[in-house]
A and B are shown apart, each in its own frame.
Chain A
Amino acid sequence: MLETLRQFGETRIADGPDAVTLRDRHLAHYTALATQLHELQVSPNEAEAHTRLDLEWDNLRAAFGWALATQQDDDADSILSGTSLLALHAVRCENAEWAQRASA
């Protein structure tokens, strides 16, 4: 259900006149979240970091992809570095593929 809604939203954004602005705002939000996730990971509330990573993984992937596509390298780096150790602990191997894409 949530994935279907997310895909619908993506289609609407892609078709709309403000697609770039909306994607940039989405990127800014998830870049900030990635940094927060790492701060949460090294805190007593580490479990919350894992819960939010699970919930927001698809959005983080989409934001990271947009950052790479539009050469917003600092944001791509922030998402990668903010999530890499959390993804490592959660055994989310896809994060390593992100690193490869970023360094390609």
Chain B
Amino acid sequence: MGRLCARLDPDAVGLPPLDVEMIWMARANLAIATGDIELAHSVEAWLELRSGEDAALDPIIHAWLIHHIAVIKGFAGEDVSVQLADATRLASRWSCPSLRALAHVVIDGGRLNWPNLCGTSAGDQAGDHVDALRAAAQQARSVGAVLVERVTSNWLLIPMLGRAISDDAVELHVTLQSHHDARLRMFEHAYLTNVMPWFAMIGLPRGTATILGFLTANPAVESFDFQGGVAKARLLITDLADRDEFERQGAGMDIDTLVAYVLHELEQIAATTVNG
């Protein structure tokens, strides 16, 4: 990764300003794909330096940089109040729908998932933030900003995966189906990594073992917090008698087959939940 980052050299001679900004965005993409907190800190430092200059950053790039820094810092347990303040300023300055949606992802996603890392937020209700995230997803969808809508949906997953109740199967199904329809492979892989422990936590460890088999057989698809997800999944399926068999099945699947399998399992859970 160090070599790739070195090739993304924003200090190369003669680059126009927008290219420099795009290189920092590529670095932020790399940081979020790998969960690299040091790289995120370097992006944050550049952004702080850049914000003091007269010429404005491209607002869309600015919004993505804030988003990526907030995600990496939030998951690392670091304070994100600066990013929330930046997102608030950006949303008040620009009336572009997808930019405002992205800003609200940072503001409401941050307050929903890491209330202790967001500075003062007296009187906040989790439901308000969920509603705000749903509104942001709808806003992005309505203008055709598919990527922003999908990112917003990912933020809505975080509390669902944490509380691990089978009632969420319908919503998890909708999210995976939408990632799949949009052909967003990176999102599918991140989703599978994150949803993997959920199956065992609701009492269906075969789902966890099958996804684990696929992900460990396809190390090229590593995504954010991949190692953490794998370690957690392994612990959760320790008592599953046929875990080797399910892992073998998962290892033999391609991504489309695995997605179809997970969608089917979620449908079954949803049907059982409704009927039970």
For B148, the chain A residues whose CB sits under 8 A away are: 89
Looking at B94-102, B118-126, B211-219, the stretch in contact with chain A turns out to be B94-102
A88 within 8 A of B: yes
Q: Spot the interface stretch: B53-61, B188-196, B245-253, B261-269.
A: B53-61
A5 within 8 A of B: no
Q: How many residues of A contact B (CB 8 A)?
A: 17
Q: How far is the CB of A19 from chain B (nearest CB, A)?
A: 31
Main secondary structure of the interface of A (DSSP, over half): helix
Whether A41 sits at the interface, judged by CB under 8 Å, is: yes
**Contact present for B18 and A89 (CB under 8 Å):** no
Q: Is the CB of B22 within 8 A of A84?
A: yes
**Dominant SS at the B interface?**
helix
Q: Are A44 and B97 touching (Cβ within 8 A)?
A: yes
Q: How large is the interface on B (under 10, 10 to 19, 20 to 34, 35 or more residues)?
A: 20 to 34
Question: CA A41 – CA B145 in complex, angstroms?
Answer: 10
Taking A43-B95, A89-B146 as known contacts, 16 extra A-B pairs with beta carbons closer than 8 A to each other, sorted by chain A number, are A42-B58, A42-B59, A42-B60, A42-B94, A44-B96, A44-B97, A50-B143, A50-B145, A81-B22, A85-B60, A89-B98, A89-B144, A89-B147, A89-B148, A90-B145, A91-B183
Residues on A facing B (Cβ under 8 Å)? 41-44, 46-47, 50-51, 54, 77, 81, 84-85, 88-91
Mark B residues whose CB is within 8 Å of A.
16, 18-19, 22, 58-61, 94-99, 142-148, 182-184
